[in-house]
Amino acid sequence: MTTTPSSPRTAMFQRTSFTRRKEHAEFAAKMIFLLMTLLMVIPLVLIVGYLVVQAWPILSLDFLLEVPKRGMRAGGIWSPLLGTIYLVVLSLVIATPIGVLAAVFLNEYSRESWFTRVVNMAVVNLAGVPSIVHALFGLGAFVLFAHIGKSILAASLTLAIMTMPVIIASTKEALASVPMAFREACWNVGATRWQTVRHVVLPNSISGILTGVILQVSRAAGETAPIMFTGAVFFKAIEEGRIFAYGLFDQCMALSMHLFTISTQVPDVPHALPYGTAVVLLGTVLLVNSLAIILRIYLRSRKKW
């Protein structure tokens, strides 16, 4: 006997008013989240687009490879671009190994105690300290007390101290995401704790560690106060196109300070020059971040879990 559309058996599978209300609520939530995403993405695209349009008349290879001329009213940005690369790379070399090793100790070796709680609280608090405070610390600790003087090394050490808490926090989260069963399997076959960390835990958490490194690069490249007090200068003449124009104990120019200088301290600057500097600074950060993200995606794709 066939079932008619109006039979009770068919009615059980029809949409009820409760189901329709849930679908409407789901659709409304989806639209709200989409609107929130657009409110974040659209202003970013508009800002970047505006910067590129304003900087377009001056963007060229010569703009990157020429040094500032005529009181920084002409020429390019090779001096501050090279100085920014020095500062970011050196601070990265200093902060990454120390931050990762500190996170390994806190997550893999230390036991729960008042000492570890104090250290973890200090890491969290240091991540929120204003950059001007780090600048004064770097001036007192590295420039004056350690007698390094105002130099690339002192500025890089200051940037490393400033960004290290982010690397420690992100590395700890990455290490904690590795299943405990991986560690127990290694210990059961006789591996030491260090062998487990080196061959199992770190390789499986490297993608998360790179997240902290990406944040470190972005912040180090855009900071002005720490390097202004410890190593950056208003102007420094170097040879155009020379990669090793700065020494560790030399002062240098930097894109962030150069942008501040030509925007507020130098009169009669061409309209496109500050925008061009801002675009190069933004492009440098995006390029380094993109390479790190590609590496992170590649490493994450090799995970077996």
| pLDDT tens-digit readout, 234-286 | 888 888 778 888 888 989 999 988 888 888 888 888 888 899 999 999 888 88
Number of domain units in the chain: 1
**Domain-embedded: residue 228:** yes
> How does residue 1 score in pLDDT terms, banded at 50, 70 and 90?
very low
Given a cut of 60, whether residue 7 has pLDDT beyond it is no
Query: Model confidence over 114-147: pLDDT tens digits?
Result: 888 888 888 888 878 888 899 999 999 999 998 8
Q: Which domain holds residue 176?
A: 61-67+77-301
pLDDT reported for residue 155: 93
Least confident of 6-10, 174-178, 210-214, 228-232: 6-10
What is the arithmetic mean of pLDDT over 17-22?
A: 82
Rounded CA gap, 219 and 199, in Å? 31
Q: How high does pLDDT run on average in the chain?
A: 85
Residue 11: which pLDDT band, with cuts at 50, 70 and 90?
Answer: low
Place of tokens 């679908």: 23
Q: Give the DSSP per-residue string, the chain.
A: -PPPTTSHHHHTTSPPHHHHHHHHHHHHHHHHHHHHHHHHHHHHHHHHHHHHHHHTTT-SHHHHHSPEETTTTEE--HHHHHHHHHHHHHHHHHHHHHHHHHHHIIIIIPPSSHHHHHHHHHHHHHHTS-HHHHHHHHIIIIIIIS---SSHHHHHHHHHHHHHHHHHHHHHHHHHTS-HHHHHHHHHTT--HHHHIIIIIHHHHHHHHHHHHHHHHHHHHH--HHHHHHTB-S-----TT-TT---TTS-B--HHHHHHHHHHT-SS--THHHHHHHHHHHHHHHHHHHHHHHHHHHHHHT---
27 part of a folded domain: no
57-101 pLDDT per residue, tens: 888 888 888 888 888 888 888 999 999 999 999 998 999 999 999
Start-to-end CA distance of the chain, whole Å, equals: 52
pLDDT of residue 20: 81
Quote the pLDDT of residue 90.
Answer: 92
Any domain includes 1: no
What are the residues whose beta carbons fall under 8 Å from the beta carbon of 145, sequence distance 6 or more?
A: none
Share of the chain above pLDDT 90, in %: 23
The percent of residues above 70 in pLDDT, for the chain, comes to 94
Q: Is the pLDDT of residue 178 over 80?
A: yes
Model pLDDT for residues 151-170, shown as the tens digit of each residue: 999 999 999 999 898 889 88
* 18 within a domain of the structure (yes/no): no
How many CB atoms neighbour CB 48 within 10 A?
15
**What is residue 304's predicted lDDT score, i.e. its pLDDT?**
62
Q: Is residue 30 in a domain?
A: no
Residue 140 lies in a domain: yes
Q: Residue 124, Cβ neighbours under 10 Å: how many?
A: 12
pLDDT at 210 over 90: no
Structural domain includes residue 134: yes
Does the residue 240 lie in any domain?
yes
Q: Among 7-11, 105-109, 128-132, 167-171, where is mean pLDDT lowest?
A: 7-11
Which CATH number goes with the domain that contains 171? 1.10.3720.10
User: What's residue 268's pLDDT?
Assistant: 84
